[in-house]
Structure 1
Amino acid sequence: MTAEERFFCADAARMRGDPMEGTAPHGSVWVLIEYRGGWPANGFDGLDLEPRTKAVLFSAAQAVRARILLVRRYGRHKPEGTRRWAVLRHEKSGAHRQQWGTWSRDEDLAQIVGALGAPGQLGRPPVVLVCAHGRHDTCCAVRGRPVGRALSDRWPDLVWECTHVGGDRFAANVAVAPDGVYYGGLDAGSSVEAVEQHLADRIHADHLRGYTDLFPPQQVAVAALLRRFGPAGRHEYAVAETTRDGTHWRIRVIRHPPRPAAFDVEVRSYRTTPHQLTCRGPAMSSAVVHEVTSIRTAERPRPLS
């Protein structure tokens, strides 16, 4: 294959018009491990760490369905020296908690096991994660690294490059944790605008993939309301009820003050025609798409007594 014929999944997804809304992976706990060396294609799983420590950490993360991401600051850094780790948690109450530590030996990473069971700290600024995992997917590096540079120049203390976060074809991908918000289809300019608005608690539908505490049809319902009524705070909309009838969903979404309201959002799910969805995987796969078919104003919720 010549350079002109080389396949880039993100280019193909844009040409097809693949919808991003409803594609954020479900989850509310993230483990970050600073690793400045080369990242294996399969991320943490491929690291040559002390076996027992690695097994214990993996088991503890799996027990709480935490996603383990390798992270590094943008630019070149010496691989040795003290590095950082973090446990980020989005609680059902909406609270955002973080616990940070350092490691220099593999065995030090066992501290993360205890942190996964600890409450963590409130009030810390969010972490902005930019997928730049080129060994996993070419588009993640080609599109992710310029975004990593732009965001790092603006917010050097908040931004980390990271391993695979899902949705290669939507590169550049940015995940904000523990807020649990995924953005995609970004470039250097749009990423700065999206993160700037996010930090001001004004989430826009543009480039939004979804909220990770919601399932895909729920993510699409909230995104549709953001698109119709404009940007809103991270917790301004809440899913109150979800019912399903085959491929059709009805999702009741409550809007909290300052503009309280309730909406019933109808969503239809279907599978697309198979396509090559990643740069590395030549197999043809179909994707599930969730499409909003109607939005109706529902009876306003009564105030809590």
Structure 2
Amino acid sequence: MAGDLARFFCAEAARERGDGLAGTAPYGRVWVLIEHPGGWPPNGFEGIGLEPALSARLFAAARARRARLLLVRRPGRRRDAGPRRWAVLHHDEHGAHRQTWGTWEKDTDLDGVVEALRGPGTTGHPPVVLVCAHGTHDVCCAVRGRPVAAALGARHPDLLWECTHLGGDRFAANLAVLPDGVYYGNLDAPSAVTTLAEHLAGRVGAPHLRGYTDLPPPAQVAVAALLARHGPAARHAYEIVGTRRTDSGWRVHVAGAPPYPRLSEVEVRTHRTAPHRLTCRGATPSAFLAHEAVAVRTLCGPDSR
């Protein structure tokens, strides 16, 4: 299958190889969402033809905050009445989830995004749920993402958006809960419904977790290993308190809130894989760094208080 360009699907190939999910969430604390119904160009935001000076301002403001720019639309490409929406989502250094929302009808209305990127945003908003359905970027994102978006949109119409490229096409269907900063992958409609229901109830589980976007890959793997061992936990139940480089990877120390161990050590092994085709459109094989938890040790037990 990998040699047949007409039939190659990166998500199928990744599952056959057994590519690990944990540790694959791209770094991010700030996201910009711009509603753009209808078809999306392969390069997403860059291809929607905004006035050049405005595009330059948006890119500069986003780059200054290390923000990711994503196009969004409601599932089914329905056309909601009224102006389109935009949002700036922040996961700040204290873990607070902040949002700013606005609307736009003409290009210059998006200057509000530039201003919002300079502000703190406000808390108390419901989470934003994104499912990558960017078929012109990668076929698997459309084939696997759209059924997931439809299933979740039927249950959570006010939370759910389809979006452009989230990263990790081979893990489609990909889901991000923002500004929580939690990525899930390898989803289908039934597993997505269950996974999101657990998340919205305050329980992050390990089976489909790619990672937390405010953590580097070895720390993401460490948290996922603890969730696998001790069961689902709240988004901030675990805190990375130390990392140490080893010959084969990392030793990560993680503090837990009760009833989880107060201090754990996770040994994470890192290696570079053989080259593989990683996306449907990318015919050139590429290697990547894989991270795997090989040992989990409890250094200090649950707080008996």
TM-score by length of 2: 0.95
- 1:56 aligns to what SS in structure 2? helix
Cα distance in 1 between the residues matched to 2:210 and 2:72: 21
Q: CA deviation at 1:257?
A: 2.7
1:61 Cα deviation after fit: 0.3
Check whether the contact 1:182–1:211 (CA below 8 A) recurs between aligned residues.
yes
Partner residue, 1:40:
41
CA deviation string 1:265-285 (max 9, x = no partner): 111100111111100010001
CA distance in 1, matches of 2:283, 2:298: 44
**2:209, 2:4 → 1: CA distance?**
31
Aligned pairs, how many? 303
The equivalent of 1:206 in structure 2 is: 207
Q: Quick one: distance in 1 between partners of 2:113 and 2:262? A: 41
Change (3 A) 1:4 1:89: closer
Query: Over residues 244-267 of structure 1, what are the superposed CA-to-partner deviations in whole Å (9 max), with x where a residue is unaligned?
Result: 135421111000134451001111
* Runs of 4 or more above 2 Å deviation: 1-5, 76-81, 257-260, 299-302
Counterpart contact for 2:261–2:298, Cα < 8 Å: no
After superposition, residues 90-109 of structure 1 pair within 5 angstroms as 90-109=91-110
Give the partner amino acid of 2:201.
Answer: A
Letter of the structure 2 residue corresponding to residue 251 of structure 1: V
SS at 1:276 equivalent: coil
Q: Percent sequence identity over matched residues?
A: 62
2:72 partner letter: V
Q: Which residue of 2 aligns with 1:283?
A: 284
State how far apart, in whole Å, the 2-side matches of 1:293 and 1:225 are: 12
Counterpart in the other structure of 2:140: 139
State the partner residue of 2:75: 74
- Post-superposition Cα deviations, 1:58-87, rounded to whole Å, max 9, x if no partner, equal 110011100000000011334995100000
CA contact (8 A) 1:36 1:79 kept: no
| Gapped regions of structure 2 (runs ≥ 5) | none
Asked if the contact 1:133/1:141 (under 8 Å) is kept, the reply is: yes
Contact 2:73–2:161 (CA under 8 A) maintained in structure 1:
yes
Partner in structure 1 of residue 198 of structure 2: 197
2-structure distance, mates of 1:139, 1:259: 37
Give the distance between the partners of 1:12 and 1:79, measured in 2 at CA: 37
Q: d(CA) in 2 for partners of 1:200 and 1:79?
A: 29
How do 1:174-193 residues align onto structure 2 when only pairs under 5 Å count?
Answer: 174-193=175-194
Residue 7 of structure 1 aligns with which residue? 8
Tell me the distance in 1 between the aligned counterparts of 2:88 and 2:252.
31
- What TM-score, normalized by structure 1, do the two folds share? 0.95
Distance 1:133 1:124, change over 3 A: same
